Amino acid sequence: MTVSTASLPEKPAGAGARPFVAIEDVHKSYRLGDTTIHAIRGVTLALHPGEFTALVGPSGSGKSTLLNLAGALDTPDQGRVVIDGHDVAALDDNRRSRLRNARIGFVFQSFNLVPVLNVLENVELPLLAGDAGRPAARRERVMQALSDVGLADYARHLPDRLSGGQRQRVAIARALVTEPLLIIADEPTANLDSGTTHRIIDLLLDLNARRGATFLFSTHDEKLMSRVTRILRLVDGVLA
């Protein structure tokens, strides 16, 4: 299936000066049985192009919910989330999906690789949902993404033949292959040993510098927090 961004709204004039993500007085609640969980309570946040930002806070503070809102995986109960000039709540499901596929890459804590697909095929998956041209062009982009994370020689390996750090690098390559302007990462170093963690942090910083993408990730990792340019602390759904 070919998906393009043709039906997305046009970007406003003078877009370069505005935040890439603007979260404006956002509230988000969930029902858990008879209980209402107020996950996000009136958060306002701006992420500008090229920022490398860590979101920290205790478990249950709302970090994952805020990442889902910033990545257009969810919509707020109140307030607005504007991504690259597009009000997320004003888009229907199809256009929201196109926005995510064209503008946003996701790196998950559990990697979320398809075990029966090799490394190349896992990284290629986002391109199959987009307008990536002919197979040869897709494979060229995949191999460039794998080269960027140092895994070009592992293209034909299955995930179960890789270490945890290598699988995380595959997940990062998959997030990068569509050349997104925003990378959302949920605890990207949580399952890695100390040495691998430092290599992943170096990789993320290098990609941030070379590609100019905006990074927002949640973490409890002090090593990662010490390397970022901005730290946001979330407590009980409120930015402290």
Q: Quick check: 115 and 160 in contact, CB under 8 A?
A: yes
Helix (H, G, I), strand (E, B) or coil at 15: helix
Task: Check: pTM over 0.85? Answer yes or no.
Answer: no
What pLDDT does residue 210 have?
A: 84
> Is the pLDDT confidence value at 237 over 70?
yes
What pLDDT does residue 56 have?
A: 93
Q: Could you read off the pLDDT of 162-215 as tens digits, one per residue?
A: 998 899 899 999 998 988 899 999 888 877 788 877 888 888 888 888 888 899
Query: CA distances (Å), 126 to each of 106, 159, 217, in order?
Result: 10, 17, 20
Higher pLDDT, 4 or 132: 132
Q: How far apart are CA 17 and CA 77, in angstroms?
A: 28
Q: Could you read off the pLDDT of 101-113 as tens digits, one per residue?
A: 889 999 987 889 9
The total number of residues written for the chain in this structure: 240
Q: Where are the domains of the chain?
A: 48-73+90-239
- In CATH, the number for domain 48-73+90-239 is 3.40.50.300
Query: CA distances (Å), 169 to each of 21, 81, 159, in order?
Result: 25, 29, 11
What pLDDT does residue 32 have?
A: 87
Q: How far apart are CA 85 and CA 209, in angstroms?
A: 23
